[in-house]
């Protein structure tokens, strides 16, 4: 298949495919007429890259998965190098979750302080007594 069909089937643009090619992630095979040619294996590579990027992986982090597929493995995460990338990404995500938890706690504390400063004072006293007026009543 040609680059336009691959782009359509992969749900991406030809520009993106050319970029992947320039980064060495997509093979650059040419037909006799000079057109780029691709097959279903290339489509699997693109789908693997896009799935990982949807998960938040940087483009370079997809390389071990692509190389694993190119080596003939049934899945991009069948190789030790891919598992190492998964482990590193999980550690990164755990760190981010920890930092977000800390930030969330700080924002919650600031909200509580701000709300305490804005809360109304005690209810007004009745002129005839020293008791506050019942809520909802005014003179």
- Residue 130 in any domain: the answer is no
Cβ-in-10-Å burial (0-12, 13-18, 19+) of 36 comes to buried
Q: State the pLDDT at residue 121.
A: 65
- Residue 125 in any domain: the answer is no
Cα angle value 38/64/40 (rounded, 5°): 20
Convert the pLDDT of each residue in 110-126 to its tens digit: 999 998 888 776 666 66
- Residue 78 in any domain: the answer is yes
Q: State the pLDDT at residue 31.
A: 87
CATH assignment of the domain containing 100:
1.10.1660.10
Cβ-in-10-Å burial (0-12, 13-18, 19+) of 78 comes to middle
Convert the pLDDT of each residue in 41-91 to its tens digit: 999 999 999 999 999 999 999 999 999 999 999 999 999 999 999 999 999
- Residue 137 in any domain: the answer is no
Residue 21 neighbours by CB under 8 Å, 6+ apart: 27, 28, 36
Nearest to 39 by CA among 52, 48, 49, 26: 26
The rounded distance, in Å, linking the Cα atoms of 30 and 36 is 4
Strand partners, 36: 30
The rounded distance, in Å, linking the Cα atoms of 53 and 132 is 62
- Residue 123 in any domain: the answer is no
Q: Report the share of the chain in percent with pLDDT over 90.
A: 75
The rounded distance, in Å, linking the Cα atoms of 63 and 23 is 10
Q: State the pLDDT at residue 16.
A: 96
- The whole-number average pLDDT for the span 13-38 is 92
Q: State the pLDDT at residue 100.
A: 96
Domain count along the chain: 1
Q: Residue 15's domain spans which residues?
A: 3-117
Q: State the pLDDT at residue 117.
A: 87
- Residue 139 in any domain: the answer is no
CA 4 → CA 17, 104, 128, 131, distances in Å?
Answer: 9, 45, 86, 80
CA 33 to chain centre: 40
């Amino acid at each position: 298949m040609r680059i336009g069909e691959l782009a359509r089937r992969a749900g991406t643009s030809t520009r993106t495919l050319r970029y992947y090619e320039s980064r060495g992630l997509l093979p650059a095979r040419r037909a006799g007429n000079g057109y780029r040619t691709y097959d279903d294996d290339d489509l699997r590579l693109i789908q693997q890259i896009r799935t990982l990027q949807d998960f938040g992986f940087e483009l370079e982090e997809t390389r071990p998965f692509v190389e694993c597929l190119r080596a003939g493995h049934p899945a991009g995460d069948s190789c030790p190098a891919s598992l190492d990338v998964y482990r590193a990404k999980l550690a990164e995500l755990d760190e981010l979750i920890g930092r977000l938890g800390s930030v969330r706690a700080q924002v919650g504390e600031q909200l509580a302080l701000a709300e305490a400063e804005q809360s109304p004072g005690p209810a007004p006293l009745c002129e005839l007594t020293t008791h506050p007026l019942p809520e909802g009543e005014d003179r």
